[in-house]
Amino acid sequence: MTQRIRDISQQGQPGEVITLQGWVRTRRSTKGLTFININDGSSMAGLQVVVNAELPDYESILKQLSTGASVSISGTLVESPGKGQRVEVQASQITVFGAADPETYPLQKKRHSFEFLRTLGHLRSRTNTLGAVFRVRNACAQAIHQFFQDQGFLWVHTPILTASDCEGAGELFTVTSLDLEQLPHTQAGAVDFSQDFFGKPAYLTVSGQLEAEIMAMAFTNVYTFGPTFRAENSNTSRHLAEFWMVEPEMAFCDLDGAMDWAEAFLKHVFRTVLEQCPEDMDFFNQRIDTSVLATAENILAHEFERITYSEAVTLLAKADRSFEFPVEWGVDLQSEHERYLTEEVFKKPVIVTDYPAAIKAFYMRLNQDGNTVRAMDVLAPKVGEIIGGSQREERLEVLERRIQTAGLPLEDYWWYLDLRRYGTVPHAGFGLGFERLVQFMTGMANIRDVIPFPRTPDNVEF
């Protein structure tokens, strides 16, 4: 097995003979010596290798050792005189797998803009920032599973192809078979693309919630963690057409319970990532956003603020500044409002509850006032909404009315209604936008830079 550079630099002892593999990040030559930094993606710093001019074939190897080249290097670890690293490698043998022509290799030593790097989706993971992002993303994913598994939740796999628009927001991608002969035709003779899942309509899922509710009605506490799709034909820094969602669903749980779960869950993920990725988190704090570490500490040290939507509207109406979208009771909060509440009023995450029923999905539990629902959004500084959740409507008659009011066909929801007919229980859940969490944690401004392959109106290439 190959030794990883992170392990060598943390645990390797002077005198040890090692072999490492990776890509050249930088090269610097002085008289008779060349210093190269090799990175295999396991750490931010990589490892410094010293190549002595006495090495056989020094000149010809050196020619190929430019930024981007892939190499295997054997050598002896020595204590490093440089600061910031314990050990470095005195090379005794170097094999170049693949050179990278310095004339054309696009990632040169200078700092590139994130816009430019997005045009290089196949190479940008070799940069410090994207490398750190994807290591933190991995640590977040692992912490999420660990949290729910430790709490006895069952990980359920909900379908990607579905028949229902869970959110009712009309942001669905339809699924189309390209076998045109199999597709039904309209009376006018045109292919009917609305019936193309073997004669029925099918869509890419916008949320696994309804199916997660099915599973919670048997296993009590469950969660999903998978890709979801929304036809967001807008170019914001917080929306993707394909993003990952974490959706826990808890039976015998009300809205307060869901808020407690959401807060404990986010704190666990922050704590774990700070422990597991200190080097990467320091990097974000220095280079991307100088409030990243303070934000993380703030999350761990304080309880999230909990206010109702009506209270939020009152606070926004009293604000000593104007908003692009004026606030009045009944309209959904925009990102500028969410940021004002978290960044200026409370200076920490805020959970807003009890939104007007008219602006939330049909499945949320109606409050006694008949006007608001037991919804909750967790708002974070800078990113705005990272979690949307609610207590679900568990009363059959009320749910039937809500589906009809939303203009949805009752018959499509027969199984969802059955869950209220047979052994219904109060239950609640929420959906966390995984990329928004990674943005929040790393301070990255654009959601396109926290997912390896962003799907947006302008990109589906690689």
* Residues near ligand ATP, by CB under 6 A: 167, 230, 232, 238-240, 243, 245, 385-388, 431, 433, 435-436
Q: Of 125-133, 254-262, 381-389, 449-457, which segment contacts Mg ion by CB under 5 A?
A: 381-389
Least distance CB 316 / ligand ATP (angstroms): 16
Nearer to ligand ATP, 218 or 358 (CB): 358
Least distance CB 90 / Mg ion (angstroms): 55
End-to-end CA distance of the chain: 30
Least distance CB 254 / ligand ATP (angstroms): 19
Q: Which of 68, 75, 248, 388 binds Mg ion (CB under 5 A)?
A: 388
* Binding partner of residue 386 among ligand ATP, Mg ion, none, CB cut-off 5 to 8 Å per kind: ligand ATP
* Binding partner of residue 338 among Mg ion, ligand ATP, none, CB cut-off 5 to 8 Å per kind: none
* Residue 461: how many other CB atoms lie within 10 Å: 9
Least distance CB 332 / ligand ATP (angstroms): 7
Nearer to ligand ATP, 27 or 360 (CB): 360
Nearer to ligand ATP, 73 or 327 (CB): 327
* Binding partner of residue 349 among Mg ion, ligand ATP, none, CB cut-off 5 to 8 Å per kind: none
Least distance CB 385 / Mg ion (angstroms): 5
Nearer to ligand ATP, 267 or 287 (CB): 267
* Residue 298: how many other CB atoms lie within 10 Å: 15
Least distance CB 4 / ligand ATP (angstroms): 32
Nearer to Mg ion, 131 or 388 (CB): 388
* Residue 433: how many other CB atoms lie within 10 Å: 23
Q: How far apart are CA 409 and CA 359, in angstroms?
A: 19
Structure tokens at 415: 């199984």
Nearer to Mg ion, 27 or 337 (CB): 337
Q: How far apart are CA 184 and CA 174, in angstroms?
A: 15
Contact 261, 144 (CB under 8 A): no
Instruction: Report the relative pairing of strands 33-39 and 87-98 from DSSP bridges.
Output: unpaired
Contact 278, 132 (CB under 8 A): no
| 46: nearest Cα among 67, 23, 79, 66 | 23
Nearer to ligand ATP, 156 or 240 (CB): 240
Nearer to ligand ATP, 38 or 387 (CB): 387
Q: Of 40-48, 255-263, 352-360, 388-396, which segment contacts Mg ion by CB under 5 A?
A: 388-396
Q: Of 15-23, 37-45, 385-393, 445-453, which segment contacts Mg ion by CB under 5 A?
A: 385-393
* Binding partner of residue 436 among ligand ATP, Mg ion, none, CB cut-off 5 to 8 Å per kind: ligand ATP
Least distance CB 189 / Mg ion (angstroms): 37
* Binding partner of residue 387 among ligand ATP, Mg ion, none, CB cut-off 5 to 8 Å per kind: ligand ATP
Least distance CB 385 / ligand ATP (angstroms): 4
Q: Is 330 left (phi over 0), alpha (psi -120 to 50) or beta?
A: left
| 154: nearest Cα among 221, 244, 213 | 221
* Binding partner of residue 240 among ligand ATP, Mg ion, none, CB cut-off 5 to 8 Å per kind: ligand ATP
Q: Of 81-89, 201-209, 336-344, 384-392, which segment contacts Mg ion by CB under 5 A?
A: 384-392
Least distance CB 375 / ligand ATP (angstroms): 9
Q: How far apart are CA 169 and CA 206, in angstroms?
A: 9
Site residues (CB under 5 A) for Mg ion? 385, 388
